[in-house]
């Protein structure tokens, strides 16, 4: 089959756009982080205590968080003492290495136990970017040749069902939905059953946004998960929490409560393009030991990328 040359994802990737897009999506955090570092090293030769203190401030401003910043500073100070960091260039190289390490150490890899049909449950607070992320994932995976089915599990508002159907139609994937007000676990049940029956590779189930502190709504979410497991034992294979990066450090307590209630397998960090707080990824992986699976760097269908720690750090410091 001939591919349309105008497919935006296709064209982007042909241009080697992955890194360019990442770089532009992270420009606000880069301004805070690399821009801040540029300012403090400007006109100074030595890596001394004063410089490291200013570096600490820059990291905190970019929302790297107190714990992760302390880790990074301790590592750098040790290397300065051992004479392994002798100038600013070496300091920057070492900082980048330690930052990439923070994003990968202790983080569990993606589980690979899914059978022929992989079920993914998407959860998070209101407006974090769940439905948009599902649409973007549908596009990505369909383009990879996978058979994708969506479940419009946000039955809270009619507009949410409509939003999911619009994405499904645009990406050319089936969408299982019921009327607004229907039981979300019934929709999840139907979606997974249909996914298995139709031999789908991936079923992605949307849910209504909810606060992590709302007991009743968290119980409802647990029920969705239980019902999915009843239709297909072992499912959902991945429960992904979608977090809005612009809330910075607040995302840590949010993620912790969702994780305690639901058992999360990974994170999707959205809206990185709109915030200088992208440093939060370092603290959230450090605190929760959960992998960031995807990042959202814009509103368009192609603005979702699998998270690549090394590329992320590189893009944060790229000129
Ligand atoms: N700039 C930017 N906007 C995003 C990104 N991801 C989502 N959005 C926008 O965020 C808004 C909310 O997105 P939704 O996908 O509807 O969020 P949701 O979590 O499904 O919201 P509820 O269903 O109401 O809980 C929309 O305007 C999206 O276009 C992103 O990575 N970058
Ligand atoms: Mg939604």
pLDDT higher than 70, residue 81: yes
| Rounded distance from Cα 172 to ligand 2 centre (Å) | 19
Name the percent of the chain lying above pLDDT 70. Answer: 94
Q: Give this prediction's pTM.
A: 0.93
Q: Compute the distance between CA of residue 319 and CA of residue 312 in angstroms, rounded to an integer.
A: 13
Helices and strands in the chain, H and E counts: 13, 8
pLDDT tens-digit profile of 264-284? 999 999 999 999 999 999 999
| Rounded distance from Cα 276 to ligand 1 centre (Å) | 18
Q: Find the farthest-apart pair of alpha carbons in the chain and give their distance in angstroms, rounded.
A: 66
Residue given tokens 């569990």 in the structure block: 108
Most informative mutation of 132, 166, 275, 305 for ligand 1 (most atoms within 8 A of CB): 132
Neighbours of ion ligand 2 (CB under 5 A): 130-131
Mean pLDDT on 55-75: 96
Q: How confident is the model at residue 43 (pLDDT cuts 50, 70, 90)?
A: confident
Q: Which residue has the higher pLDDT, 10 or 154?
A: 154
Residue 115: per-residue pLDDT = 85
Mean pLDDT on 222-245: 97
CB 167 within 8 A of CB 304: no
pLDDT higher than 50, residue 298: yes
| Binding-site residues, ligand 1, Cβ < 6 A | 124, 126-132, 154, 160, 209, 242, 270-271, 273-274, 296-299, 303
Residue 27: per-residue pLDDT = 96
Residue 315: per-residue pLDDT = 96
Helix orientation angle between 280-288 and 66-81, rounded to the nearest 10 degrees = 100
Terminal CA-CA length for the chain = 40
Q: Which helix (H) or strand (E) holds 49?
A: helix 49-61
Q: How confident is the model at residue 16 (pLDDT cuts 50, 70, 90)?
A: low
Question: Quick one: which ligand is closest to 209's CA?
Answer: 1
Q: How confident is the model at residue 44 (pLDDT cuts 50, 70, 90)?
A: confident
CB atoms within 10 A of CB 60: 15
Q: How confident is the model at residue 210 (pLDDT cuts 50, 70, 90)?
A: very high
Q: How confident is the model at residue 1 (pLDDT cuts 50, 70, 90)?
A: very low
Residue given tokens 């606060």 in the structure block: 211
Q: Which atom of ligand 1 is nearest to the CA of 295?
A: 31
| Rounded distance from Cα 100 to ligand 1 centre (Å) | 27
pLDDT higher than 90, residue 295: yes
Angle among Cα 206, 271, 249 to the nearest 5 degrees reads 100
């Amino acid at each position: 089959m001939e591919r349309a040359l105008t497919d935006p994802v296709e064209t982007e990737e042909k241009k080697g756009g992955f890194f360019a897009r990442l770089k532009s999506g992270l420009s606000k955090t880069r301004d805070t982080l690399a821009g801040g570092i540029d300012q403090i090293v400007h006109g100074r030769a030595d890596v001394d205590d004063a410089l490291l203190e200013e570096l600490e401030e820059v990291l905190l401003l970019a929302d790297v968080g107190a714990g992760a910043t302390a880790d990074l500073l301790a590592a750098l100070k040790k290397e300065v003492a051992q004479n392994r960091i002798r100038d600013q260039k070496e300091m920057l190289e070492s900082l980048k290495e330690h930052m990439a390490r923070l994003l990968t150490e202790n983080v569990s890899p993606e589980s690979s136990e899914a059978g022929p049909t992989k079920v993914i449950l998407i959860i998070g607070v209101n407006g974090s970017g769940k439905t948009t992320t599902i649409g973007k994932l549908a596009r990505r995976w369909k383009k990879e040749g996978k058979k994708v089915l969506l479940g419009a599990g946000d039955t809270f508002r009619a507009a949410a069902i409509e939003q999911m159907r619009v994405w499904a139609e645009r990406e050319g994937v089936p969408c299982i939905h019921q009327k607004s007000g229907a039981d979300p676990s019934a929709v999840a049940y139907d979606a997974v059953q249909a996914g298995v029956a139709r031999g789908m590779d991936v079923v992605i189930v949307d849910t209504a946004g909810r606060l992590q502190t709302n007991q009743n709504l968290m119980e409802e979410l647990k029920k969705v998960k239980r019902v999915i497991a009843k239709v297909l034992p072992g499912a959902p294979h991945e429960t992904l929490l979608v977090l809005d990066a612009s809330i910075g450090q607040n995302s840590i307590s949010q993620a912790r409560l969702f994780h305690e209630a639901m058992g999360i397998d990974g994170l999707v960090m959205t809206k990185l393009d709109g915030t200088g707080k992208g440093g939060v990824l370092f603290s959230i992986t450090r605190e929760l030991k959960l992998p960031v699976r995807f990042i959202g760097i814009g509103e368009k269908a192609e603005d979702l990328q699998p998270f690549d720690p090394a590329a992320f750090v590189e893009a944060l410091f790229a000129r």
